[in-house]
Structure 1
Amino acid sequence: MEQAKRPVTGLAGRYGHPLHPALVAVPIGAWIASFVFDIASHLVPDPGFLAQGSRWLIALGVLGALAAAMFGFLDLFAIPTGTKTFRTGLLHMSINLGVTVLYAVGFIIRGGPAAEPVDWPPLALSAVALAGLGVAGYLGGELAYHYGVRVADEATQAVGYTRTTTHESTTVKKERV
Structure 2
Amino acid sequence: MNIARHPLHPALVHFPVACWSLATIADLASLWFGQPAWWLAGVLLVIGTVAALAAMGAGLFEFARIAEDSPALADARRHMLLAMAAWVLYATSLLLRLQGTTLVAPAWPALATSIAGFLCLAAAGWLGGKLVYQHHVGSA
Does the alignment reach a TM-score above 0.5? yes
Superposed CA offset, 1:108-148 (max 9, x none) = 1112333x5x3222112111110111111111011100000
- Unpaired runs of at least 5, structure 2: none
1:96 equivalent to 2:83? Answer yes
1:79 equivalent to 2:79? Answer no
The aligned residue for residue 108 of structure 1 is: 95
The aligned residue for residue 51 of structure 1 is: 38
Give, in whole Å, the separation in 1 of the partners of 2:63 and 2:10: 13
Using structure 1 for the length normalisation, give the TM-score: 0.71
Give, in whole Å, the separation in 1 of the partners of 2:111 and 2:68: 38
Query: Do 2:93 and 2:109's aligned partners in 1 also have CA atoms closer than 8 Å?
Result: no
Q: Post-superposition, which runs of at least 4 consecutive aligned residues in structure 1 deviate over 3 A?
A: none
Bigger-Rg structure (1/2): 1
The aligned residue for residue 28 of structure 1 is: 17
Of 98, 111, 122 in structure 2, the residue corresponding to residue 123 of structure 1 is 111
Amino acid at match of 1:104: A
Query: Do 1:15 and 1:150's aligned partners in 2 also have CA atoms closer than 8 Å?
Result: no
Give, in whole Å, the separation in 2 of the partners of 1:146 and 1:86: 12
Using structure 2 for the length normalisation, give the TM-score: 0.88
Give, in whole Å, the separation in 2 of the partners of 1:35 and 1:99: 12
Q: What secondary structure sits across from 1:41 in the alignment?
A: helix
| 1:16 CA displacement | 4.2
Equivalent residues, number: 135
| 1:36 CA displacement | 1.5
1:38 equivalent to 2:27? Answer yes
The aligned residue for residue 128 of structure 2 is: 140
Q: Percent identity?
A: 32
- Unpaired runs of at least 5, structure 1: 1-13, 153-177
| 1:25 CA displacement | 0.5
